[in-house]
Amino acid sequence: MNISLHDKRFEPYIKEVAIQNRISAIAEQLSDDYRGKRPLFISMLNGAFWFTADLLKSFTGDCEISFVKYRSYQGLQSSGEVMQSLGIDVDIKDRDVVILEDIIDTGRTLSVFLEILMQHQPGSVKIATLLIKPETLQFPLVPDYVGFEIPNDFIVGYGLDYDGLGRNLRNLYVLEK
């Protein structure tokens, strides 16, 4: 069923069951990769909060969680500027860090955050993202865990929004063409 948010129409794209299955697979892989360790998961707010919650419910080891908030989107497009609202508030020196991201589009936000993160001297850094748009990537980022590779379409739902609306949708929706 198609939906309307503000002045735009969206059609179904990826169903919740497929999202949950993929997140469970990523959580299993992370659990294996960090067996016997205590990683610090850093969730990129606001969009990654659903991905983070579902992933950590399936992670089987000890872990810690922290949140940061950076944004670069206004409406349907990236503003080109990365703005920080909430920064790193825990000691990450020599820690195994896993960044949890909802979507990697151009990679600008994550690239800026990684520069800041590296100043805190983590022991290791891995990236897990629910979605990536390989054709729009402008920064040399290679996530270690990827839910879905998608084309350059505007997506809402499952934590992603269009001007504040749509984050609460259980499925992912794509902008109608």
150-156: long-range contacts, CB 8 A cutoff, minimum separation 24: 153/13, 154/76, 155/13, 155/103, 155/131, 156/5, 156/10
The predicted structure's pLDDT at residue 177: 86
* Nearest-angstrom CA–CA distance, 47 and 72: 12
> What pLDDT digit, counting tens, does each position of 96-108 carry?
999 999 999 999 8
With beta carbons less than 8 A apart as the criterion, state whether 110 and 47 touch: no
* Nearest-angstrom CA–CA distance, 127 and 110: 9
The predicted structure's pLDDT at residue 147: 98
Exposed/middle/buried for residue 86 (C-beta within 10 Å: 0-12, 13-18, 19+): exposed
As a CATH number, domain 15-152 is 3.40.50.2020
Of all residues in the chain, the percent with pLDDT exceeding 70 is 90
Say if residue 82's pLDDT is above 80: no
The predicted structure's pLDDT at residue 90: 85
Per DSSP, 15 falls in state -
Per-domain boundaries in the chain: 15-152
* Catalytic entry in 54, 102, 105, 161: 105
* Pick from 25-34, 86-95, 155-164: least confident: 86-95
* Nearest-angstrom CA–CA distance, 98 and 124: 8
Give DSSP secondary structure letters for 54-95.
HHHHH--S--EEEEEEEEEEETTEEEEEEEEEE---S--TT-
Say if residue 81's pLDDT is above 70: no
Say if residue 86's pLDDT is above 60: no
* Pick from 8-17, 26-35, 70-79, 98-107: least confident: 70-79
91-116 average pLDDT score: 93
7: annotated active-site residue: no
* Nearest-angstrom CA–CA distance, 135 and 140: 12
Q: Is the peptide bond before 46 cis (omega within 30 degrees of 0)?
A: yes
Say if residue 135's pLDDT is above 60: yes
Say if residue 139's pLDDT is above 70: yes
